[in-house]
Structure 1
């Protein structure tokens, strides 16, 4: 069967009411997945193991999204039958992903050097032994042995935002975290818009719709876990919620756009394949750098807390991460 490289031919509109309803259904599920880690960390007292599950599960989701849901489709799109000429003689998907990885690396390298220089000029220290933004450890008042035992047992099961978030005292440190999460979200947003358009125009709507609902919820959980762990001053307390909303509305916007252009948009055309493949490649590079460097390396290799952690905690964190990656990779079977 030859590829349809010309005008759109999406057949008669099917499941039109459900396609419209998908705008709101995916908006709600995305919001639930993204806001749950943020709200639970700030408002509720839940087991620390649950927080850590969300955090490391989310890291696995982000890495699997880069490999399975972005890089693999980018190869397929840029190697499609309708894409001819130079596009077929060079692995552009790999090149674009590599370029975005190096671009982020140079950007972060420049930012760290500039920030260190500014701090040194101001006569301030810069301690990054744990791989995170520098902060001042609050002084912990002495407690009796009995109270210490009680608090130790309690902290093994319950925690609050105050327990888990080290204080950040400089706006520059807060901004460094915001820029980092913005880069991560930037990589996710392109992907969200693209799958929204795909869902709106795809003829096999029912299967894809179910898969994308779970896809967006798990991806939202991964992003929300990173947003929840931002250590912010009250001035910037709105940032995690803004990030959650920005992510959650992107796929519904993509669906709305897809419904609007369904009669004229051909996802198999050369132009659509090139644009989609290029954006997927760039997004893959962003998420790969963020997932492997910012999440894995900084969280496991260069974090003094993890270096001194028990074998159980290391094993638990890795199992959570592999579970997130495994579930997201499995969803790649359908979407």
Structure 2
């Protein structure tokens, strides 16, 4: 979702100051407030988008914990893979492209046009997230080793064709079928978490530990939050409010479903059961906070100013890097390539999962036509 109005065309509802400056192509670069039209609806959008965002993020979490709803597993799988496609499309269409446009604003000093800074910030973001996850992975491996659960840094637990099973793999599978000494010490851990530990041991995979799951979700949500705050501020001052408002409602709902489906299937001990709920609520608040902030500074905030373009462009590029890494590595690679369940799944299930993901990606990419 672009977090600024196009910098190439002055907005019709904002009257440039006579003392303002202009770029060589005529773009107005001065200060000034955003649009004041539909002010009542802009205030209402705070609560409408909060409700849609929170519903999208919390519904999968609460539905999985509420037995009487009896929502079938394929529905959760649809939301999960659909959401993966939404997140990947958001990274490229709604973040990276706007970041390049914002940092290429003709109002910026000429030095900003001498290097593709948006792509550079995105690249730095990708490698930074990689380093953070690598450190967390090694730390998680050490913790599991202390518990006596075998791990293999060079194995992703892929049990499909082409994977060479070692003696350590067989030993891990044997140990997964009976309670281990370390598992017997975890008397306060619920059955779902114990099942997660068994699966982790069987796959030689530390990605199911609470710390690594929370870190992964936190990274994903951090990128989404940065983006959500910016689009909220833009919605508060954008003259094309009605179109952008409708698009953001669907955008936040789809993105929330993708995040919520991930939160719903976190394997955590009972003492950390609040984490998915907190994550869903935090997502629901971010865009409304951005809208409220934009309304508060609407008399002075202009997305076309050089300062606003730099801040928005840098944050969009960083968010794009986070979501690109998360979408391609955490969602695609770990869900399809390094997931034993998917490796052993039928061709029909594999095709269904890919179609759901492509559908989500296509819908979110299509929304980029309007915002």
Q: Give the TM-score range, shorter chain.
A: 0.7 to 0.9
* Aligned match of 2:333: 297
User: 1:308 offset after TM fit, Å?
Assistant: 1.0
Query: Which residue does 2:71 correspond to in 1?
Result: 46
CA deviation profile, 1:62-118 (whole Å, cap 9, x unmatched):
111101111011001000111122211000111011111111111212222233234
Among 75, 92, 99, the residue aligned to 1:67? 92
Between the aligned partners of 1:162 and 1:208, the Cα distance in structure 2 is 45
Aligned length: 312
- Residue 163 (structure 1) shift: 8.3
Query: Contact 2:140/2:212 (CA < 8 Å) preserved in 1?
Result: no
State the TM-score, normalized to the length of structure 1.
Answer: 0.87
Corresponding residue for 1:199? 235
Rounded Cα–Cα distance in structure 1 between residues aligned with 2:275 and 2:33: 42
> Does the 8 Å CA contact 1:196/1:255 hold for their aligned counterparts?
yes
1:200-254 alpha-carbon deviations (Å, 9 max, x no partner): 0001111111111111111111111111111111111111110011111011011
Q: Secondary structure at the match of 1:323?
A: helix
Question: What residue in structure 2 maps to residue 14 of structure 1?
Answer: 37
Q: Does the Cα contact within 8 Å between 1:130 and 1:305 map onto a contact in 2?
A: no
> Which of 24, 36, 40 lines up with 2:59 in the alignment?
36
Q: CA deviation at 1:129?
A: 4.5
Matched, 1:180 2:180: no
Whole-Å separation in 2 of the counterparts to 1:166 and 1:16:
52
Name whichever of 99-108 and 279-288 sits farther off: 99-108
- Is 2:117 the counterpart of 1:92? yes
Change (3 A) 1:165 1:245: farther
Runs of 4+ in 1 over 3 A off after TM superposition: 117-124, 127-131, 134-140, 161-172
Q: What is the CA distance between 1:137 and its match in structure 2? A: 5.3
CA distance in 1, matches of 2:49, 2:281: 12
Gaps of 5+ in 1: 141-160
C-alpha spacing 1:274/1:230, structure 2 compared with 1 (3 Å): same
In the TM superposition, 1:1-335 aligns within 5 A as 2-11=26-35, 13-43=36-66, 44-121=69-146, 123-126=148-151, 129-130=156-157, 166-168=195-197, 173-335=209-371
**Aligned mates of 1:138, 1:74 — CA distance in 2:** 50
| Corresponding residue of 1:152 | none
TM-score if structure 2 supplies the norm length?
Answer: 0.79
In structure 2, relative to structure 1, the CA distance for the partners of 1:42 and 1:193 (3 Å cut) is: same
Tell me if structure 1 keeps the 8 A contact 2:29–2:107: yes
Report the 3-state secondary structure (helix = DSSP H, G, I; strand = E; otherwise coil) of the residue aligned with 1:125. coil
Change (3 A) 1:138 1:26: farther
Q: Is the 8 A contact 2:31 2:302 kept in 1?
A: yes
CA RMSD in angstroms comes to 2.6
Closer/same/farther in 2, CA of residues 289 and 280 from structure 1, 3 Å limit: same
Task: Specify the alignment match of 1:158 in structure 2.
Answer: none
Whether the 8 Å contact between 1:104 and 1:289 is mirrored in structure 2 is yes
Task: Give the 3-state SS of the residue equivalent to 2:196 in structure 1.
Answer: coil
**In the TM superposition, what is the alpha-carbon distance from 1:4 to its structure 2 partner?**
2.0
Q: Distance in 2 between matches of 1:64 and 1:166?
A: 33
For residues 27-60 of structure 1, the C-alpha deviation after alignment (integer angstroms, 9 at most, x for no partner) is: 0011111111111122132222111101111111
Contact 2:193 2:267 in 1 (8 A): no
SS at match of 2:102: helix
Partner of 2:303, secondary structure, is: coil
With 226-235 and 278-287 compared, the bigger mean Cα shift is at 226-235
Distance 1:139 1:39 in 2: 31
| 2: CA distance, partners of 1:19 / 1:168 | 47
Change (3 A) 1:124 1:165: closer
